[in-house]
Structure formats: C-alpha cells, structure tokens
C-alpha cells in the first residue's frame, strides 16, 4: 500500500489499533517508586534512573527551537513528501533537523531482520485479534490512563478525535504491514515523525492553562509515559491472546515483541527501559501501568467520543452497544463503570459466553456446530467488528495520513 489513507489503514487486518495508540501519553497520579532493573532491558544495563524524570532532550530542544523560530509550518509541508523508510529527506529542511532525522532513522544494532520477517507472518495470521485488542484493550484503556487522557484532550488532536485516531492508526498499520521496517516500508518514517510530534506537545501543552490546571506534572510524555502507552499496546495485546488461548508459536511471539521493541527505540525510548522478554514486559507493566488506571472527566468524554463513532453508520443504535460491551468484556466491569458504559444484557452476555469459543472456531479448535448456541447468533458480528470499525471512516475520504508537529493546543480549550 503506497499511500495509506483513512480508509485503507483502518481496513487493514490489524489496524483497529488505530484507536489504540491515541497517544500522547502519560502515566498517572501517585505511581509507585521505580524499581524495575535495566538488567531486564534490551540494553541489559543502564543507570536505572526513574523514567518519569527523563524525556527526549535532543528532540525536545530541536522542536522547541523550530517552533520558536516559526519554522514548523514549512517543515510539516516538506515532510508530507517523506513517506518511505529509505527515501532521502526532502531538500529545504533546516540543517539541525536534517542532522537529527538522519540519526533518528537508523535502526539499532540489535534489530533482527529474521525476527521482523516472522513478525509479518504473525500479523497476517492474527489480524482480527490484533484489531480487537489494539482498539478495545489498548484504545479504550488509554482513556483511563489519567495523564494520557488529559494530554490527548487538551492537545491539538483533542479537537478532532477521528483525525487523531486515523493518524495514530498509522503506527498500528505500519508495524503490521508486510514491509514495516524494510526500505520501502513506512514504520521508520512514522516513528520519527511521531517522535517529533511528541516533542512538539511537550513544548506546547505546558502553555495551556486548561491542561496546567488539572495536570499533576509540568512536562508531559516522559519516558515512563511512553512506556505506559507501549504496555497498553503489545503487552496488553499478548496478555489477551494468551487469555483467549490463541495458539502462538514461541518464535512468532518473540518476533511480535521484537517488532514492538524496535518501535519503542525508534520513538525515542531509551533501550534501558525497553523490556527484553514478555516476562520482563509483564513485570514492568504491573509496576507502571496497572496501578495508575483511573477515571478522569477528560477520559470519560474521550471514551464516549470513541463509542459514538459508529453513529455515522447506524445512529449508534447497534454499534455503540456492541463497542461498549466489547470494552466491558476486555477491560472488565470496573473500568466500564468508570467510563459510564451502560450494560447491555444481550451483548454483554454474548461476549462473555461466546467470544472464546469464537476464537476457538476461528483457530480450528472447535466446530461451530458444537459451539454454544449464542455463538451461531453473533458469529457474524464478531467476524465483522474490524470491517464495521473501518466503515466508520469511509466518509473521511482517501487523503494520505500526515503525522505532523503541532503548532498549538486544542483550540476549543
């Protein structure tokens, strides 16, 4: 796919992750002391500094300078033409930005092309499950990560959630694409542009009186914040696939992790914070993600916006209850309660009783004839969730998606 659009990004197998990334991220109020050891990282060592006090100093200083000297609009215009990993940077970029991007686009020495090839096979086979978990484990989870919800709500993207989702969808699309980190893929480009966009938010959001009034931090998107969002994606996805008893060969599991480890590095996360195994990822997530989930007024509004996106198809009569029940099934009653998602007797029961048998049917582990009766009633709905979610965005046209450095905050706040 040469030019991913809102339509074809969301229609790709694993890209309901769209909703998932949603991210300008931050973990929440009273997080516990940082005790995770860098020995469990891909670096195998490190200073062990609390990542809540570490940001992205080189990118932050650079983008702040670009914003202060009024160069960002022209930079964004030029970078719209830079779409492929091996493509030369456009001429006319400021020299300091060009130098940074040339360094930032290089894969680390530990990148393993064999594992990346295996990850492609994993993504091809698990598209439906990845879409569901990216969207309703990761995406809806982002609305109960307090700092993330506030940052999303008050930054520029909060003014247009559809646009925000389709832009962040590109990360999920690109990492699951056939070419991903290859020369003619787009994952490296997407990561570098996202890294620049994050730096822009760090510079601009502290200037928002609305954000500063409710924030419990002075600068958003620390290294810890980015790892919180990272865990809401691959770590949470794998936990759900294991829970649903999806049979995954160990080589594919490791390859999927490797593709996301690379994404963390390319997004500017220090190697000493990137877990080197699923065991280490689960250990770190228990410390930095699980304890900080909580409702906020901003998160509740964002969740409602997400659940109402289906209104363009059926006025929300069917899609909103389905999406709400799926959220409840994946994230649990407590989080659904925080987000004020109403119960729906039929769909709540359908997911609780029929989802795992549905997975087993799709995996060839169970005959549909021997599955619970309710599964035969809702199988079509389960199998079409990703397609229906894609249709939400068909009215948005086919313009290429452009991740850009923001020049302001949410104009509505």
Region of poorest pLDDT, from 212-221, 281-290, 316-325: 316-325
pTM of the model: 0.88
By the 8 A CB rule, do 49 and 262 touch?
no
13 pLDDT exceeds 60? no
Share of the chain above pLDDT 70, in %: 84
**How far from 103 is each of 99, 187, 209, 267, 360, CA to CA, in Å?**
7, 15, 35, 12, 45
Q: Would you give the DSSP letter of residue 221? A: -
Q: Give dist(CA 105, CA 191) in Å, integer.
A: 8
Q: Tell me which residue of 251, 230, 244 sits closest to 172, measured CA to CA.
A: 230
Share of the chain above pLDDT 90, in %: 63
Per-residue model confidence (pLDDT) at position 18: 35
Q: What is the mean pLDDT of the chain?
A: 85
By the 8 A CB rule, do 339 and 295 touch?
yes
By the 8 A CB rule, do 266 and 42 touch?
no
> Which tokens go with 278?
């699923």
Region of poorest pLDDT, from 20-34, 97-111, 391-405: 20-34
pLDDT band at 367; cut points 50, 70, 90? confident
SS3 90: coil
Q: Read off the pLDDT of residues 175-192 as tens digits, 9 standing for 90 and up.
A: 888 889 999 999 999 999
Higher pLDDT, 388 or 303: 303
Per-residue model confidence (pLDDT) at position 30: 55
Q: Read off the pLDDT of residues 226-260 as tens digits, 9 standing for 90 and up.
A: 999 999 999 999 999 999 999 999 999 999 999 99
Q: Read off the pLDDT of residues 227-236 as tens digits, 9 standing for 90 and up.
A: 999 999 999 9
Longest CA–CA span in the chain (Å) reads 67
Q: Give the number of other Cβ atoms within 10 Å of residue 32's Cβ.
A: 10
């Amino acid at each position: 796919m040469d030019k991913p659009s809102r339509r074809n990004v969301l229609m790709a197998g694993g890209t309901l992750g769209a909703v998932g990334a949603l991210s300008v991220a931050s973990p929440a109020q009273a997080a516990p002391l940082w005790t995770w050891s860098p020995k469990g990282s891909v670096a195998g060592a490190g200073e062990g500094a609390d990542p809540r006090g570490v940001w992205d100093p080189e990118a932050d200083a650079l983008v702040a300078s670009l914003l202060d000297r009024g160069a960002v609009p022209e930079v964004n215009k030029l970078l719209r033409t830079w779409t492929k990993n091996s493509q030369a940077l456009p001429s006319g970029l400021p020299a300091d930005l060009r130098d940074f991007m040339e360094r930032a686009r290089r894969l680390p020495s530990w990148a393993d092309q064999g594992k990346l090839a295996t990850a492609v096979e994993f993504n091809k086979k698990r598209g439906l499950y990845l879409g569901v978990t990216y969207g309703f484990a990761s995406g809806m989870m982002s609305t109960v990560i307090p700092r993330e919800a506030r940052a999303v709500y008050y930054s520029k993207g909060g003014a247009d959630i559809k646009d925000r989702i389709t832009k962040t969808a590109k990360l999920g699309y690109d990492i699951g694409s056939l070419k991903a980190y290859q020369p003619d893929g787009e994952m490296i480009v997407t990561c570098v542009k996202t890294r620049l966009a994050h730096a822009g938010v760090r510079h601009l959001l502290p200037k928002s009186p609305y954000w500063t009034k409710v924030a419990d931090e002075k600068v958003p998107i620390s290294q810890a914040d980015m790892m919180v969002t990272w865990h809401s994606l691959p770590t949470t996805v794998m936990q759900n696939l294991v829970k649903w008893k999806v049979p995954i060969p160990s080589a594919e599991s490791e390859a999927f992790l490797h593709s996301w480890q690379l994404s963390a590095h390319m997004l500017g996360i220090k190697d000493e914070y990137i877990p080197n195994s699923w065991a280490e990822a689960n250990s770190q997530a228990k410390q930095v993600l699980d304890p900080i989930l909580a409702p906020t007024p901003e998160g509740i509004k964002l969740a409602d916006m997400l659940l109402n996106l289906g209104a363009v198809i059926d006025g929300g009569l069917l899609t909103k209850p389905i999406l709400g029940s799926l959220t409840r099934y994946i994230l649990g009653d407590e989080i659904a309660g925080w987000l004020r998602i109403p119960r729906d007797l039929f769909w709540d029961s359908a997911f609780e009783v029929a989802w795992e048998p549905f997975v087993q049917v799709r995996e060839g582990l169970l005959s549909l004839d021997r599955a619970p009766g309710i599964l035969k009633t809702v199988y079509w709905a389960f199998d079409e969730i990703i397609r229906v979610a894609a249709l939400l965005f068909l009215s948005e046209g086919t313009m290429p998606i452009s991740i850009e450095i923001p020049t302001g905050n949410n104009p509505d706040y």
